[in-house]
Structure 1
Amino acid sequence: MEIAELVTELVEKYRGAAAPLVEVGDPVLRAVGEPVNGQVGMELLRELAEILFATMHAAPGVGVAAPQIGIPLRMAVLGDSAAVPEEVATARGRRPLPEFTIINPTYTADGDEIAFYEGCLSMPGYQAVVARPESIMATYQDLDGVQHTERLTGWAARIFQHETDHLHGIIYIDKADTRSLTTNDNLRDRWADPTPVRASRALGFSLP
């Protein structure tokens, strides 16, 4: 089925509401997404973005990529309004991130790597430590077709990288140190520190 048909079918089924999340093991999460190049009309893309945001809010999460709802298209939505303790916000560079849509995004590293626990809505119940550049130069188009290039740091940079990776068939666990893998319950009960230093010593994994 052509990508426009897939999007039309999904929009007609879930217009204005959350769509089911695809979980690991589904081939769409391992496919390289198709670039957005006019094959899907802008109004349809806006409706797809509304569904992505609704899905993100319902989960809840800080980002959802189109492949996570079964659409192999290079498009994702991001936004982080979670209230976290100041100590955590400072250690992770986690500040409120206004919601926005990214189309055909790319990024290049613009800083040293830093490692934190990370999870994914398509792999529920687990988290693992992923080392990522703390700062990136991010490039993307918005829903009006305007090209943006901006420097993102901290948690915003991590979210952008995570969602952009999804569009290339990459799941966070591919980049994680698997010795750090933990259930969400163990993360909450044992390793809910601002940084994973204590977990690295106990579980035997290295940090940058």
Structure 2
Amino acid sequence: MACTSWLHLHSPSLTRVFVPILHHPTALSTAFLHRLNRFTSPARFISSLNQTNPQLTPVHAQAKRGFLSKDDEVASMEDLRFDSPLKIVEYPDPILRKRNKRIDTFDENLKKLVDEMFDVMYKTDGIGLSAPQVGVNVQLMVFNAVGERGEGQEIVLVNPRVNKYSKKTVLFNEGCLSFPRIYADVERPESIKIDARDVNGARFTVNLSGLPARIFQHEFDHLQGILFFDRMTDEVLDSIRTQLEALEKKYEDMTGLPSPEKVETRKRKKAAAGFGKS
């Protein structure tokens, strides 16, 4: 579970979203808060989480700060431009490693981008998606843990920031739409506390645990230019090395350019189970 080709859940409601189990392929990417009419408000969404799981795992460890500083570059109209229909960007495209800019403009174009991100997420059997995964390098993610249009809750997170995360970590089998048919174990904190804005620019804070926390962390990594294999142990990485090399060759064959990164020569980045640049 993780990236864009994660677990595909068919739960009838968000109640099961907190069950920390995922093995089936689907998409991952995160964004909290519904859009206007068909999206719930931040307050209503947070209330539903508390009703579903009133005793979220408390967070203890202070996360590193600086993910969203005043010095972050603000996205321009050009940065938020996109072509329809959106397409999934696959590893090792350099777009996945680029810096993602802060969104300060909450307009109809942003709502349209959110709509189209949900469309491509559902079409690719995903449960979450981050903007860089569709070629737009801004701090935006969407997700629906049920993974079915018309079921569950569609959530949108703009400029998300991690305040705290739990010391307790959990190992899960993740996948990613940017890494088709590749799945491997990734260790992440069990619960987190985040701040974000909704699609209208309203700020909110929420605690997440279990599956929602896992989805958020996977997608949040994308917004930091971190890919799920950056957080794997050497042993786990070796188990998917051949598949990663196949994607690198596919990129070279399609573009006529050398792969911007090679797992063959890469020394594992010491990305701890937490947050921060790996």
TM-score by length of 1: 0.72
* Paired residues of 1:128 and 1:177 also in contact (CA < 8 A): no
Are 2:108 and 1:36 aligned? no
Higher relative contact order (Cα pairs below 8 Å, separated by 6+ residues): 2
Q: Which one of 160, 174, 181 corresponds to residue 125 of structure 1?
A: 181
Amino acid at match of 1:106: R
Count residues with an aligned counterpart.
163
- Tell me the residue number matched to 2:231: 175
Percent identity over the alignment is 34
Shift, 1:44, TM fit: 0.7
RMSD: 2.1
Shift, 1:3, TM fit: 4.3
Structure 1's unaligned 5+ residue stretches are: 84-95, 184-207
Amino acid at match of 2:180: P
Deviations 1:73-125 (A, max 9, x none): 00010111159xxxxxxxxxxxx962111000112313411111001100111
Q: Secondary structure at the match of 1:180?
A: helix
Are 2:226 and 1:161 aligned? no
Shift, 1:28, TM fit: 1.1
* Paired residues of 1:75 and 1:104 also in contact (CA < 8 A): yes
- Tell me the residue number matched to 2:6: none
Q: Secondary structure at the match of 1:48?
A: helix
For the residues of structure 2 that align with 1:81 and 1:36, how far apart are their CA atoms?
27
For the residues of structure 2 that align with 1:48 and 1:82, how far apart are their CA atoms?
18
Runs of 4+ in 1 over 6 A off after TM superposition: none
- Tell me the residue number matched to 1:196: none
For the residues of structure 1 that align with 2:77 and 2:116, how far apart are their CA atoms?
15
Shift, 1:180, TM fit: 2.9
TM-score by length of 2: 0.55
Are 2:182 and 1:115 aligned? no
For the residues of structure 2 that align with 1:111 and 1:147, how far apart are their CA atoms?
26
Q: When you count helix as a share of all residues, which structure comes out higher?
A: 1
Q: When you count strand as a share of all residues, which structure comes out higher?
A: 1
Are 2:22 and 1:22 aligned? no
For the residues of structure 1 that align with 2:167 and 2:121, how far apart are their CA atoms?
28
Deviations 1:9-38 (A, max 9, x none): x2xx31xxx511000111110012001123
Amino acid at match of 2:198: D
Amino acid at match of 1:20: K
Q: Secondary structure at the match of 2:86?
A: coil
Structure 2's unaligned 5+ residue stretches are: 1-74, 241-272, 274-278
Q: Which one of 55, 63, 69 corresponds to residue 134 of structure 2?
A: 69
